[in-house]
Chain A
Amino acid sequence: MTEIINRLEPGAVDTVDVEAVNSKERRKLYQARVKVFPKRTHGTFRSLKWWIMAITLGIYYLTPWLRWDRGPYAPDQAVLVDLANRRFYFFFVEIWPQEFYYIAGLLIMAGVGLFLITSTVGRAWCGYTCPQTVWVDLFLVVERWVEGDRNQRIKLDKASWSFDKARKFVTKHAIWLLIAMATGGAWIFYFADAPTLALNFVEGEAPFVAYSTVAVLTATTYVLAGFMREQVCTYMCPWPRIQAAMLDEDSLTVTYNDWRGEPRGKLSKKANADERAVGDCIDCNQCVAVCPMGIDIREGQQLECITCALCIDACNGVMDKIGRARGLISYSTFSEYSRRAAGETVKTTWRSFVRPRTMVYLALWSLAGIAMLIHLGMRDRLDVNVLHDRNPLHVTLSDGSIRNGYTVKILNMQARPRVFTVSLDGLDGAFMQVEAAGAETLTQEVARIEVEPDKLRQLRIYVHQPKDAVTGEREDFRFIVRDTDSDEQSTYSAIFYAPER
């Protein structure tokens, strides 16, 4: 049998002496964390993870430094959450607090997007883009760089304290702390002008909240990515428990193809000599050694698996060395797994992603996105609110005319000063008396007022109606506020009250 002969001539495949830390059998309910020492891997998914790490970290660290010219009246930072002035700037979009529904919309899109991704490619979020995963990966790089790969790290961990161990310990934790500080440090730049804040920060003149935020985020990054690692995913994160509902038999998961691998056996002449049917798994435990979650994928689907696919890379490397086909551990849907196990040849194509469930998620996701874009394109940048004086509702003046007082609030939501006219519509013979510094009365029915960029201007407007024009106890009319440049206008329906006759 050629298969068995091949197994007699293996490349140097290390068999790792490792036991899955998080296996069902081993895990006690009340037990201190058992350290996981993930081994380095090479391969497609490892490269993919490097790329995604570079991109996500790049986005996180660089975004606050992008500039965006908004003219003289608004900040020039592309992405800025300006809490002090209650504005949120996102490239060409400026969001006011009352437009917070955009954030709600984004959260809905993020939620549905997560459903969509999970139902198609499984826990891709967890394995590749989750900040916990990314920073743990980064911390692991540092750990490996300072202390060496798996075996050296285990040895160092067991060794008694020496100068060398102390040096490595200090180096590793110093770099971790630096990364953690950079993580917290980048966060605050989203909330203030980044270059200014950076300068103030090192000069010790930044606000206390900046320092406390950096301190908290440094601490959480250091503890969560340095020490808790896979425990965050297993015990603290709710998402693995929820996502079971997102997965079905057509979702991609990391699968050990036991129909091909079992019965597993060590590479040995004896196994060959027995001539018993031996599976492709040579029980080298590489898949366990590389797993950052400390599980053995060969035990089947587990809650801890974040589908980072590093075990696929490790196993493929072994299969190459022993001359077997790749894919003993592979990304596979449950239905594909079943069909392959039954001996069918299955080719994974994009069609497996097109299912009613994914299409519904995609439709909902797109719908939310399109609705937000349309709304964004059509939203008002001028907002008018009118408060009628209620005490007293109306005042009789000496000539018998009736006066009602209003507080008119004009909101200029553009980052440039604008001149508006305020006029009355639908009240016979009425005229206005505008009380505000800088307001100009054009005619008795029209006033002109300049409103600063991104500001609210409040006017006291007294509306007079001559004695003879008063027709009833209440009359509906409108305040019309119009931009003198663009003809953008906003209408507010108001009521004029007169005393009983």
Chain B
Amino acid sequence: MAKPETDEITGTETTGHEWDGIKELNTPLPRWWLWTFYATIIWAIGYTVLYPAWPLVDGATRGVLGWSSRADLTTTLAGVEQEQSQYLTKINELSLGEIAQDPELYQFAVAGGRSAFAVNCVQCHGSGAQGFEGYPNLNDDSWLWGGTLDDIYTTVRHGIRYEADEDTRLSQMPAFGRDGMLDRTQVNDVAEYVLSLSGQDHDAAAAQAGAAVYTDNCAVCHGDKGQGSQELGAPRLNDAIWLYGGDKASIVAQVNAPRHGVMPAWSGRLDPVTIKQLVLFVHSLGGGE
């Protein structure tokens, strides 16, 4: 070890490092700094004794306080659940209409419904409930089975054409073309008539011919003016909303061999409170009746 060199001016030892003639002084650390440093060491020792810290073969030391992040999370969650339980109890007890009258409860229910929707419903109805071909848009004002709170409630609980549920909403349109109930001309004519019902461009002569076909075959479910029937789940034909497309080819395809969507029943899968929250959320999207 080299002999320590002392700086003449300050009387302090140098570290032996020198750059361009400038020597580094071995100035001691300030005492407050040292004390702070020692304090952190003591703190760290205390901390590792009190809290889980040292990794061992089969886990870590537990710490004498017995604290764990998992227990902490459980407590926090219990607290949140405790806080939410008053709302959840009320939602369970009150009817949908009563919940909608209580602004605070309604807000809570809609928020809960929004997250339940994001987990259970977006797969078919889309993340904005905007729907896709064959999957209804829940934002609009067209409801196959009704858009009141109670209608939506029934739909969510029992599903659509979900045979495992006895109370499911059920309806079927005959395959007029495939099963030979109407010939190609009749199908063409009735499609032109449906176009005219919804105010689209159509062949007037064919539509006139189609009117009779419609009255005989379609009016019983879809109404004499195409106004649809929510009891039967028969879509309105005189509006701008089409589940499977509103152009002529789509209408012809639907008359020939109709497609039918299936929605599962959610009672049993989701608890009653969640279902109520879902209904209130769907109703809040702006199209509820």
Contact = CB atoms under 8 A, between A and B. Distances in A.
Interface of A: 29-30, 32, 235, 389-392, 395-400, 403, 405, 433, 435, 437, 460, 462, 467
A395 B286 contact: yes
A395 B127 contact: no
Interface stretch (B57-65, B66-74, B158-166, B235-243): B235-243
Nearest to A467: B240
B120 interface: no
A392 B287 CA distance: 13
B241 to A, nearest CB: 5
A395 B31 contact: no
B130 A30 contact: no
20 contacts: A29-B27, A29-B28, A30-B27, A30-B30, A389-B128, A391-B127, A391-B130, A392-B126, A392-B128, A395-B139, A395-B140, A395-B286, A395-B287, A396-B140, A396-B240, A397-B142, A397-B241, A398-B236, A398-B239, A398-B241
Contacts, number: 61
A449 to B, nearest CB: 15
Interface in B174-206: 199
Contacts of B139: 392, 395, 403, 405
B224 interface: no
A229 to B, nearest CB: 14
A214 B73 CA distance: 32
Contact of A391 (B12, B128, B240): B128
Interface residues of B, number: 24
A403 B141 CA distance: 10
A396 B142 CA distance: 10
A400 B127 CA distance: 23
Contacts of B129: 392
Nearest to A395: B139
Interface string B21-44: 000000110110000000000000
B239 A395 contact: no
Contact of B142 (A30, A32, A389, A398): A398
Contacts of A32: 31
A397 B240 contact: yes
A361 to B, nearest CB: 35
B239 A399 contact: yes
The binding surface of chain B is classed by DSSP as loop
Contacts of A390: 128
B48 to A, nearest CB: 26
Say whether chain A's binding surface is mostly helix, strand, loop, or mixed: loop
Interface in B197-252: 199, 236, 239-241
Contacts of A435: 286
A30 B29 CA distance: 8
B137 interface: yes
B98 to A, nearest CB: 15
B103 interface: yes
Contact of A399 (B27, B130, B240): B240
A405 B286 contact: yes
Nearest to B32: A235
Given A29-B28, A391-B127, A467-B240, A397 B141 contact: yes
Interface string B121-161: 00000111110000001011110000000000000000000
B140 A398 contact: yes
B103 A437 contact: yes
A397 B137 CA distance: 10
Contacts of B240: 396-400, 467
A30 B127 CA distance: 68
Contacts of A405: 139, 286
A184 B128 CA distance: 53
A462 B287 CA distance: 10
B140 A462 contact: no
Given A397-B140, A397-B240, A392 B130 contact: yes
Contacts of B10: 29
Contacts of B103: 437
A466 to B, nearest CB: 11
A317 B7 CA distance: 43
Contacts of A396: 137, 140, 240-241
Nearest to B200: A400
B130 A395 contact: yes
A433 B27 CA distance: 76
Contacts of B130: 391-392, 395
A392 B142 CA distance: 16
Most chain B beta-carbon neighbours within 10 Å: one of A396, A400, A435: A396
B69 to A, nearest CB: 24
Nearest to A28: B11
Contacts of A397: 140-142, 240-241, 287
A235 B130 CA distance: 66
A102 B256 CA distance: 71
Given A397-B141, A405-B286, 10 more contacts: A30-B30, A392-B128, A395-B139, A395-B286, A397-B140, A398-B239, A400-B239, A435-B286, A437-B103, A460-B286
Contacts of A30: 27-28, 30-31
A467 B241 CA distance: 13
Contacts of A462: 286
A398 B143 CA distance: 10
A270 to B, nearest CB: 36
A389 B127 CA distance: 12
A351 to B, nearest CB: 42
A398 B142 CA distance: 6
Contacts of B27: 29-30
Contacts of B30: 30, 235
Contacts of B137: 392, 395-396
Contacts of A398: 140-142, 236, 239-241
Contacts of B239: 398-400
B56 to A, nearest CB: 37
Nearest to B11: A28
Nearest to B143: A398
B286 A403 contact: yes
Interface in B109-129: 126-129
A396 B240 CA distance: 7
A435 B128 CA distance: 19
Looking at A30, A32, A389, A398, the one whose CB has the most chain B CB atoms below 10 A away is A398
Contacts of A437: 103
Nearest to A405: B286
A416 to B, nearest CB: 23
